[in-house]
Amino acid sequence: MIIAAADGSALGNPGPAGWAWYVDDACWAAGGWPRGTNNQGELTAVLELFRATAHLDEELLVQCDSQYVINALTKWMPNWKRKGWRKADGSPVLNLELMQSLDEALRGRRYRFEWVRGHAGHPMNEAADERARAVATAYQRGGDIPAGPGWSGACEPAVDALVSPSLPEIDLETEVTAAAPTDADLRDDRAGADAVLFDFDDPSADWTTLTLELTTEEHTRLLERARAAGTSPDEFLRGLI
């Protein structure tokens, strides 16, 4: 499995914008535009990642801090397509060209998305965010665009090293909270649809609490996995969900 982070940035939203995907310091790419939105940057980062890895057979795990992007690609898109690329209220889907390109790029691929909290110290997410913001800043200041090496020969040897560790089978029965998306996540698409990762009764709530139980052995394994990932048990479980 190849693990990669994808992120976007827009100064002003809309404004000078950038996108980036990141595997490691020798394997990343970035780009952008003089004017764009944060969501366009987020979507393009995922699109360019899938295009860059189209020649590979490995499953792709995409770490993304945009619930709008994850929901659009994993939940909403089939209904949009059935309705002629229109939303439930009949209005056109936003960022249509990007959505259609992503629909094509994802076809036949093995992939999963993992939501990570942005600006919370997640190493790969921070690396992607820094590169996307650097491009947006370069467009703002008229500087050189840091495009990165792309998926070059330096990436290929890293694939085996990026295999996700096998996780223990866990009865997800310990207390964990899942954050609802913030206004910042949805700023330029808030009129389109609520980007909630799960269909709970009250998507406006700041937190939704799930009650779970673990055996002592499972709890110990969870702590070990979370410690190895450099995160808390709650954050580790939230990533699994």
Residue 239 is a catalytic residue: no
**Active-site option among 18, 41, 42, 48:** 42
Residue 7 is a catalytic residue: yes
**Active-site option among 8, 18, 32, 41:** 8
**Active-site option among 32, 129, 185, 192:** 129
**Active-site option among 7, 122, 148, 192:** 7
Residue 119 is a catalytic residue: yes
CA distance 98 to 188: 15
Residue 234 is a catalytic residue: no
**Active-site option among 31, 36, 48, 65:** 65
> Residue type for 49, please?
L
**Other CB atoms closer than 10 Å to residue 87's CB: what's the count?**
15
**Active-site option among 12, 25, 104, 119:** 119
Active-site residue set = 7-8, 42, 65, 119, 129
